[in-house]
Structure 1
Amino acid sequence: MDLNQKIDSMREEIIKSTQEILKIKSVEDTPKEGMPFGEGVAKALDYALNLSNQLGFKTVNLDGYVGYAEYGEGEDYIAVLGHLDVVPEGDGWIYPPYGAEIHDGKIYARGALDDKGPIIAALYGLKAIKDLNLPISKRIRIIFGTNEETGSNDIPYYLKYEKPPVAGFTPDAEFPLIHAEKGLTVFNIVKDLQRKPSGDIEIKYIKGGQRANMVPDYCEAGLRVKNKELIENKLKEFNDKGFDLKLEEKDDLLAVKAYGISAHGSTPELGKNAIMILFAFLGELDLPESDIKDFINFMNKYVGFETKGESFGCYLKDETGELSFNVGVIDMNEDKVTVSLNLRYPCTYKLEDMMNPFNKRIEELGIKVEDFSHQEPLYFAKDHELVQKLMKVYREFVNDDSEPLAIGGGTYAKEMPNTLAFGPLFPGKPDVIHKPNEYIEIEDLIMITKIYAKAMLELAK
């Protein structure tokens, strides 16, 4: 029996295990003892390690931060690094987001494609290698990360106790292979609101978005107004232009609700930003002079519906792509407004090439930057040995002569040395990552199991 036949024989096991782990809601939550990223994430890690044990692998749990399954002998090891945490499910699901139901050959659930399905595929690929007793000269390790979506604080913890792999891949992007990833920043811009509004329209709060790296599909403002009809008329004008805004009375306030379309923060142009829709609406109102009015006008002037930082003055472009600019979360009360941003810059530039003009722009309004995090760009030349080996494996299975890709998404490859992002999304397939109704096609799940098994075998020879 060859490797592909062995994987075909495990088809039902692969599907069942994928469904079971997808039923666990593993969004980061309140830390508990032994559960640094909350109970749901810990349950997903426990499931993955218990399954690995049942499949006959050595398993290790590094204090709830990371776990791994290992097979083979040798000083060096190669790795497949995936993550078990997921972004919040959001609204708009046809099927239950943690039901893992199968419809039309697809498993629907948050995390199906990003990243639980692919890491289960890799685990069963390793089982096929083990069961067939195929020759390898290095250990092979499946690493279960737990914090990729909200900071990647798990991998630095792993690297405190374990040396990095000599080569590896993460099933956290798309095929054929990612050889370059943009520099990635997540941070807050903060403005203290000292001049309070006093007039016919007062903004009491604005809240919207879930994560900096998601295009927000909902945002809401609470207004105290003297003329509700004026707001209704303006809202109708906006909706006639194709926007989706609604009004609702809440206690003594009028809630203005803006609805957008979510997308990944690396491709904000594919979504509709509910925060900026609401800002555009508020900017059309006759707001009294105040710091929040100035902030809204600033955002409308320099961001608006742009997604590349053009008007902000920080646009960059090279052969690996353009800068991306996502407004992800807003939290405004009467004293302060905080907006979470996710900016990603092309690989051949440095951080200061983006941040120097950015900081110059926000000086105009006395806006501060807080909680700044940064990942350097990742770049492997196309003739690098790891690139060549993974591309060779991919082309054995897929009739596709396309070249390795440069992307804006930050994958786990940035966190782990000697690692590239390899799948799981096939060319031409819809990108449902971070979107409602995320799914993985069962035939794709089996195919990536075969690809990952062969890739592990090639790297561990």
Structure 2
Amino acid sequence: MEIDSKVEEIKEDMIKSIQEIIKIRSVSDEEKPGKPFGEGVSKALDKALEIAGKLGFKTTNLDGYVGYAEYGKGKDYVGVLGHLDVVPEGKGWKYPPYGAEIHDGKMYGRGTMDDKGPIITTLYSLKVIKDLKLPISKRVRIIFGTNEENGCSEIQYYNDREKQPVLGFTPDGNYPIIYGEKGITTFNLVKELNKKSHGDIVIKYVEGGERANVVPNYCEAGLKANDRASVINSIEQISNKNKFDVKVESKDDLIIIGVKGLAAHGSTPELGKNAVMQMFKLLGELKIEKCDSMSVIDFFNRYVGFETDGKFFGTALEDKESGKLTFNVGAVHMSEDKVSFALNLRYPVTLKYDDMMNPFKKRIKELDFKIEDMVHQKPLFFPENHPLIKKLKKVYEEQTGEKAELLAIGGGTYAKDMDNIVAFGPIFPGEPETIHNANEYIKIDDIIKNAKIYAHAIYELAK
């Protein structure tokens, strides 16, 4: 086919351009005039627009927040949204993280897969359409985001100033097509502790986890006890009975309990082993006199326990498109005066925020908990018969020869930040996900395969 042949012609230039931009360390940094996300991110945006200009596209830089390359005419436009910022490289690299070196058919470097490589690939896919002078009725914009890894504030800046695309995709997910993304809430559940812990065992603190969207792999508690030996013995018996990985020791005037769990992403809490849940189960079985902190622990053990779908809490929602609600307790901070839980609840794509929060609020009235710092992302969902889904499905099946199974996920992609966008590639089914890891890479063959798919997709959406 004409498009595929043209991709083969330009593939060397495309690979070189990807290497150029991978070599820029575009980790968000201190704001500077005209560079809201720092020097490195600004350099990457300048380079992307420079490449786009050399390819013959009209380019726009919106005050350093976001840029785009545009081709074609028409009132409406098709948007392709990707990002140039990356997470820090970390340690453990076999090859330089900003070297863009090619070894055994793979290009290594931070951003090769997430998301510099794929968004530059779509730029060359649009060049194919331009060079072939294929007839399109809509403009096409390749939009270069700069803050996806730290909150996507640049897209709000774009949305406040620009019209939304009528159709489009982000090459920042998985194939075949992610047509549904659960609604995501992150918030703190807070309560003042007025009736203090007292008696033979006193809870001084409980600390576990770091973020709401990660299953905590460690939780620690400090107890004061009149009979330390007896309490330590009880802790060890409870731990052995429940098969918990616990370390207990005396330190100064406290008994320190450390519980180890297994971390997992907040969208799949069932894959982890929550150290906070284990700690509360353990504390609930100790003979601690009634107080506000024990009321919280009892409440937690009754209505959360080890469940990750909100069943005991009364929020067990489910649909056929995306499955069960997920309920993750990401962190706890309990002192003698106050307790705060960091929660991450993700609800099914066809349901509403109130379907989850009404029963949730009813449950927490029992202990007069307060909800603070609520952050809510609505679900993303496109029916199977939506024109965007039908067109991308057609392209994927024609280009790969495989059935385009639609995916609904608990995580969130860049698609949620702009209207009429879904995640479409670049990771093929069965391929390992190396994003955010040391030795992130993309196969050279997959760059070329993606370029062909994306060129066909852009043409299908814009023709």
For residues 357-401 of structure 1, the C-alpha deviation after alignment (integer angstroms, 9 at most, x for no partner) is: 111111111111122232333332222221111111111232321
1:396 aligns with 2:394: no
Matches within 5 A, 1:120-131: 120-130=120-130
Aligned to 1:313: 314
Aligned to 1:216: 215
Q: Compute the RMSD of aligned alpha carbons.
A: 3.8
CA distance in 2, matches of 1:439, 1:201: 52
Larger mean CA deviation between 164-173 and 297-306 belongs to: 297-306
Matches within 5 A, 1:225-374: 225-226=224-225, 227=228, 230-231=231-232, 234=235, 238=239, 243-246=244-247, 256-320=257-321, 321-374=323-376
CA distance in 2, matches of 1:241, 1:438: 39
Structure 1 pair 373–255 and aligned structure 2 pair: CA distance change class (3 A): same
CA distance in 2, matches of 1:438, 1:178: 22
Aligned to 1:454: 456
Shift of 1:356: 1.1
Aligned to 1:385: 387
Which of residues 49, 52, 64 is equivalent to 1:52?
49
Larger mean CA deviation between 165-174 and 436-445 belongs to: 436-445
Q: Is the 8 A contact 1:189 1:370 kept in 2?
A: yes
Q: Is the 8 A contact 2:234 2:286 kept in 1?
A: no
Q: Is the 8 A contact 2:35 2:42 kept in 1?
A: no
Secondary structure, aligned partner of 2:305: coil
Shift of 1:88: 7.7
Structure 1 pair 242–99 and aligned structure 2 pair: CA distance change class (3 A): farther
The residue identity in structure 2 corresponding to 1:159 is N
Secondary structure, aligned partner of 2:160: helix
Structure 1 pair 295–437 and aligned structure 2 pair: CA distance change class (3 A): farther
Structure 1 pair 62–142 and aligned structure 2 pair: CA distance change class (3 A): same
CA distance in 2, matches of 1:171, 1:248: 50
Q: Is the 8 A contact 1:183 1:345 kept in 2?
A: yes
CA distance in 1, matches of 2:409, 2:40: 31
Shift of 1:326: 2.0
Shift of 1:314: 0.6
Shift of 1:316: 1.1
The residue identity in structure 1 corresponding to 2:330 is G
The residue identity in structure 2 corresponding to 1:347 is V
The residue identity in structure 1 corresponding to 2:430 is G
Secondary structure, aligned partner of 2:311: coil
Q: Is the 8 A contact 1:169 1:420 kept in 2?
A: yes
For residues 424-457 of structure 1, the C-alpha deviation after alignment (integer angstroms, 9 at most, x for no partner) is: 3322334566678765445434432332232123
Structure 1 pair 149–298 and aligned structure 2 pair: CA distance change class (3 A): farther
1:4 aligns with 2:33: no
Q: Under a length normalisation based on structure 1, what TM-score does the superposition of the two structures give? A: 0.82
Larger mean CA deviation between 80-89 and 358-367 belongs to: 80-89
Aligned to 1:179: 179
The residue identity in structure 1 corresponding to 2:197 is P
Structure 1 pair 250–152 and aligned structure 2 pair: CA distance change class (3 A): farther
Secondary structure, aligned partner of 2:343: strand
CA distance in 2, matches of 1:251, 1:35: 50
Which of residues 9, 13, 16 is equivalent to 2:16?
13
CA distance in 1, matches of 2:288, 2:440: 40
Structure 1 pair 432–233 and aligned structure 2 pair: CA distance change class (3 A): farther
For residues 107-133 of structure 1, the C-alpha deviation after alignment (integer angstroms, 9 at most, x for no partner) is: 677765444443343334334545666
Aligned to 1:99: 97
Q: Is the 8 A contact 1:167 1:459 kept in 2?
A: yes
Shift of 1:408: 2.6
Larger mean CA deviation between 278-287 and 395-404 belongs to: 278-287
Q: Is the 8 A contact 1:181 1:377 kept in 2?
A: yes
Q: Is the 8 A contact 1:187 1:371 kept in 2?
A: yes
CA distance in 2, matches of 1:97, 1:285: 51
CA distance in 2, matches of 1:447, 1:250: 59
The residue identity in structure 2 corresponding to 1:196 is K
1:81 aligns with 2:81: yes
1:203 aligns with 2:201: no
Q: Is the 8 A contact 1:203 1:221 kept in 2?
A: no
Q: Is the 8 A contact 1:266 1:408 kept in 2?
A: yes
Name the larger-Rg structure.
2
Secondary structure, aligned partner of 2:82: strand
CA distance in 1, matches of 2:327, 2:35: 33
For residues 180-236 of structure 1, the C-alpha deviation after alignment (integer angstroms, 9 at most, x for no partner) is: 3333322221112223334544333514223x3x32344343515453785487368
Q: Is the 8 A contact 1:100 1:107 kept in 2?
A: no
Structure 1 pair 286–445 and aligned structure 2 pair: CA distance change class (3 A): farther
CA distance in 2, matches of 1:228, 1:429: 53
Shift of 1:311: 0.9
Q: Is the 8 A contact 1:66 1:143 kept in 2?
A: yes
Show structure 1 runs of 5+ residues with no match: none
The residue identity in structure 1 corresponding to 2:174 is E
Shift of 1:421: 1.9
Show structure 2 runs of 5+ residues with no match: none
The residue identity in structure 1 corresponding to 2:337 is D
Aligned to 1:144: 144
Shift of 1:417: 1.7
